[in-house]
Amino acid sequence: MSQQDSTIELLTGRNRLNKKSRVPARLDFLQSVTGLILALFILFHILFESSILFGKDAMYTLTKLFEGEPFIEGGEPLIISVLAFVIFAVFILHALIAMRKFPSSYREYQRYRAHSKLLKHSDTNLWFIQISTGFMMFFLGSIHLYTMMTQPQNIGPFASSDRVYSDVAWPMYLMLLVSVVLHAGVGVYRLIIKWGVLDGNDPRANRKISRKVMKAAVLFYLLVGIASLFAYMKIGYEHQNEYGGRYMEKSK
Amino acid sequence: MPEQKNQEEEFREIEITVFRYNPQDKTSTPEYQTYTLTETPGMTLYIALSKLWATQDHSLSFDFVCRAGICGSCSMVVNGKPRLACKTRTNEFKDGKITLLPLPAFKHIKDLSVDTGNWMNGMSKKVESWIHAKEETDNSVLEKPVEPEVADAVFELDRCIECGICLASCSTKIMNDDFIGAVGLNRSARFAIDPHDERSDEDFYELIGDDNGIFGCMSLMGCEDHCPKDLPLQTKIAYMRRKMVKL
């Protein structure tokens, strides 16, 4: 957009053709798309990460698979760096766009909170969960993604467990897990409502079903995530005297 | 008359707590005032308030017109939920305690009375809430026929009574006074599906294509869940959003 074009919009709220900007439409769509990408990513990420529940070998094999071992001997952690970078970019874009909906002054926040406490309306309360968890993830998500970008070689049954236990990353991972699962679950439910994708012949009944499925999925992912975190902590505790040592497959 | 006495004993006392404030009066301070009233069979909040006004407090202000859930004048917040006073029975509150507040999101006039009319008028102008046709309508000639399903869909959305409950249930409206809310988006959808209206999607974008319109809606569904007329707000807002985003 040229300087003149943006000045015209500044003065009139419209473009040269006396039309409204299409940017709000693009932002609305982009917020949903980036949110959906991140939700799908997290859906698989937590499942892959829970491979530790099936043993160290299972987690090790999966890690090496993501490092491209079938094609690159020994695997290439840089692949993880690139993936983390892409996710970080989508994450930042989503945060940037979604931020515009946050209450941005005392007055807005006071009115929103007082109103939602008065109303006691389930979906309005869900949004509070979303903005709270979203805010937390500005920091927690950034720490995790930066670590994955810069230390992709430190992923594995022992390396991850050492980070979780000996490097005391578990409080951060626990908070991140709860935040991301709630945020993604509520977010996907709201996407369904927002775009009317599952309205069918009875939108009200289908909305109730979507809510139930969302709650069940959140519970499932929280349980799987917490169980995995516990498994990493147990391995980390047992491995603390050999901190820094790397896992070798039993077969090797 | 023992029978009559027994009947009277069955009527319980209810407590109605009302928000009292007159922004016009500089000496007035916001406060809650509790009244006690004998509940009668079939009593609605409208009847209860009228009785309070007639027998206890002539200074109490509240609005009503039709008493039948059609005019939308008597909307107020009842124990936290925006509702129509004339369609709310007192006996649904088992503990007999009812707190009444004016609708938030509108200009407060006094006590339970708010100005929804001027806001609705402004909204109607913003979304150009009338049929737009290139040819001038000749009232002496029959209108072009419309498919019954389409006419039904239009009539369904026309059932909105502009009570303001959707706006009083909406977090976006609470934070942004310029948001046109479900009532405005429903109105746009009503004209968008009406074949008599010749406006294009681009034309509707000019009216609702910003954060005070369709993109301000966060899909929290307060409107859908509190609408006293059960309008299909969820689906119609999504319908307009899909249309506007495609442009």
Burial class (CB in 10 A: 0-12, 13-18, 19+), A165: buried
Q: What is the pLDDT of residue B218?
A: 96
* Phi–psi pair at A34, nearest 5 degrees: -65, -40
B139: pLDDT strictly greater than 90: no
pTM (two decimals): 0.93
Amino acid identity of residue A198, one-letter, is: L
DSSP B58-95: TT-----S-SSSSS-TTEEEETTEEEEGGG-BGGG-TT
Asked, for residue A6, whether it belongs to a domain, the answer is no
Mean pLDDT of B10-35: 96
How many helices (H) does chain B have, and how many strands (E)?
10, 7
The number of domains in chain A is 1
pLDDT digit string, tens, across residues B33-44: 999 999 999 999
What's the CA gap between A201 and A206, in Å, rounded?
A: 9
Residue A53, domain extent: 29-251
CA dihedral over A218, A219, A222, A227, signed as positive or negative? negative
Q: Which ipTM score applies to this complex? A: 0.92
Ranges of chain A whose pLDDT falls below 50: 252
**C-beta contacts of B13-16 below 8 A and 24+ residues apart:** B13/B37, B13/B38, B13/B39, B13/B96, B14/B38, B14/B39, B14/B48, B14/B90, B14/B93, B14/B96, B14/B97, B14/B98, B15/B96, B15/B97, B15/B98, B16/B48, B16/B49, B16/B52, B16/B98, B16/B99, B16/B100
The C-alpha of B146 sits at a distance from chain A's nearest C-alpha, in angstroms, of: 23
CATH number of the domain that residue A194 is part of: 1.20.1300.10
Mean pLDDT of chain A: 95
For residue B236, the model assigns a pLDDT of 97
What is the tally of helices (H) and strands (E) in chain A?
9, 0
In a domain, A21, yes or no: no
Which residue among B226, B238, B244 places its CB closest to the CB of A25? B244
Q: Is residue A134 part of a domain?
A: yes
Name the token pair of B159: 């059932």
Q: Is residue A17 part of a domain?
A: no
Of B169, B238, B244, the CB nearest to A121: B169
- The C-alpha atoms of residue A76 and residue A81 are separated, in whole angstroms, by 10
Nearest CA in chain B to A107: B175
B6 pLDDT band (50/70/90 cuts)?
low
Determine the distance in angstroms separating the CA of A115 from the nearest CA of chain B, rounded to an integer. 7
* A8 domain-assigned: no
What pLDDT, on the 0 to 100 scale, is given for residue A251? 52
DSSP string, A104-118: -SHHHHHHHHHHHHH
pLDDT tens, position by position, B41-100 = 999 999 999 999 999 999 999 999 999 999 999 999 999 999 999 999 999 999 999 999
Q: In this structure, is residue A155 part of a structural domain? A: yes
- B200 interfacial to chain A (CB closer than 8 Å): no
> What tens digit of pLDDT does each residue of B59-72 get?
999 999 999 999 99
Task: Report the pLDDT value the prediction gives residue B1, as an integer from 0 to 100.
Answer: 47
* Strand, coil or helix: A167: coil
A165 in a structural domain: yes
DSSP A249: -
What does the pLDDT look like over B188-199, one tens digit per residue? 999 999 999 999
Task: Please give, rounded to a whole number of angstroms, the shortest distance from the CA of A5 to a CA of chain B.
Answer: 18
Would residue A69 count as lying in a domain? yes
What is the number of CB-based contacts under 8 A between chain A and chain B? 93
